Amino acid sequence: MLHYLTDVLGIEGVVDRLYGVKWIPGKEKEWNFATCSPSNTEEPGIYLAFHHRNLVSQIDYFGRQPGGPGVIYPVPPNPPKKLQQFLQAQGLEVSDEKLKDIAGFLAYVLNCLKLIEQVDTLGLLPALREGRFPVFIIPAAQQNRTLPLENEHAVCQLTQWLLSAEHANIAGPISDLLYQRYASLPQSQRLDRFLQDLQEFPLRSLFLDKSQFSSGYFNAKLKLSKNFWLDWLAGKKIDIYIQQTENQGIKTREYFLLALLMLLYPVSPPGPGTGAIIEFNARREGHNVPEQPDFRPPAIGLVHQLVHAQYCCAGAAPGYAHNHFTTTAAELLFTGIEPFNQISEGEATTWKYVSENSIRSSWNNVKNPDASNIWAHPEQRTAFELAGKNLKQKREALRLI
């Protein structure tokens, strides 16, 4: 059972039931609607789904209010009888317009999945279909986002350890990861190399173009000696976990933990894993509008959320999905921005190398896209979200979330 807060559905309450279909390739025409529980007890797979609030709420999920943008998909002229009969059996009386919007949404999500499937050479979609947990794609009240069913289970163990460092001695696990990360070097050189990489670690942000990541942040702002590390690895308390000083608008402790997270993430063991709900915006607005300078096909937006969801299912997300300083690591990874785009040729062999940018680079290979997903000149995403050009916003641009 997933507890939604007010800002998710616009109404406080509990989501205890969804309606929809499980995507089984080759059986899409059957549309066997069923109720499903948004929990990890539901059968694993990808579900095209909706909630009863999508049908009766005053929230404008489909852009139908006066002056609203409408949707980006073709709406069927008549409500599908199967959907109508299914909802009547659930005791839900729904207008024809809402039925058509929902039917169009489900068909559009399926269309996007099939387009993605054409360029999903590393198996993201099979991993989601054949994994351990369910993933539900439902209409968004606002913008695209992914909500883990169990937030703590979505992140890797390293993230959990770093966030408990104020209260527990994690020197042992971190030391083990450090030596794994630099296993190709002689043991006597590993700590020195780690310290060098940490001192030279760029100041990364979700709100700056990657070309603006300034190098050597810790060299300029925080000298971390070898004795500092030896003390910590010996179990001593270090002040950086207590102090929250700021440099350039960055909280030093948080960025220190973020740098550790990004450097050691490749060798972190996973957490338990969890299912997820993807809220997918299919209204004709924002990034979905071809005339906008930051347009990207809605299917690409869905890819980003599917990557989120698969990392949740694998317990491998480096950070929390929303409103946390570790979100920076997660979004850079899912988007495919430094340091997570540095992959040697021939190395990419599994879904773990799929990102929004990897699919963007292949979008020219998609055959017969619908009008909303035609992209004449695919581009890489070099920033998660650019801050305004006003120099007064520089401090804001450097924030971690």
Give the DSSP per-residue string, 161-196: HHHTTTTS--HHHHHHHHHHHTTTS-HHHHHHHHHH
- What is the pLDDT, as a whole number, of residue 273? 97
Find the DSSP H helices in 214-269.
217-221, 226-233, 252-264
Measure the CA–CA gap between 356 and 301, rounded to whole angstroms.
8
- Asked if 178 and 192 count as a contact pair (C-beta separation under 8 A), the reply is no
Polymer length in residues for the chain: 401
Residue 308: predicted pLDDT:
97
Q: Answer yes or no: are the C-beta atoms of 340 and 157 closer than 8 Å.
A: no
Distance CA 178, CA 393 (A): 36
State the amino acid at position 337 in one-letter form. Answer: I
The model's pTM is 0.90
Other Cβ atoms less than 10 A from the Cβ of 290: the count is: 15
Question: Does an H or E element contain 247, and which?
Answer: strand 246-247
Per-residue pLDDT of the chain (401 residues; tens, 9 = 90+): 343 333 344 443 456 789 999 999 988 777 889 999 888 989 999 999 999 888 877 788 999 999 999 999 999 998 888 999 999 999 988 889 999 999 999 999 999 999 999 999 999 999 999 999 999 999 999 999 999 999 999 999 999 988 876 656 677 788 889 889 999 999 989 888 988 888 888 888 888 887 887 777 776 666 667 777 777 667 676 665 556 666 556 677 788 888 889 999 999 999 999 999 999 999 999 999 999 988 999 999 999 999 999 999 999 999 998 888 899 999 999 999 888 766 544 555 688 889 999 999 999 999 999 999 999 999 999 888 865 544 444 445 555 55
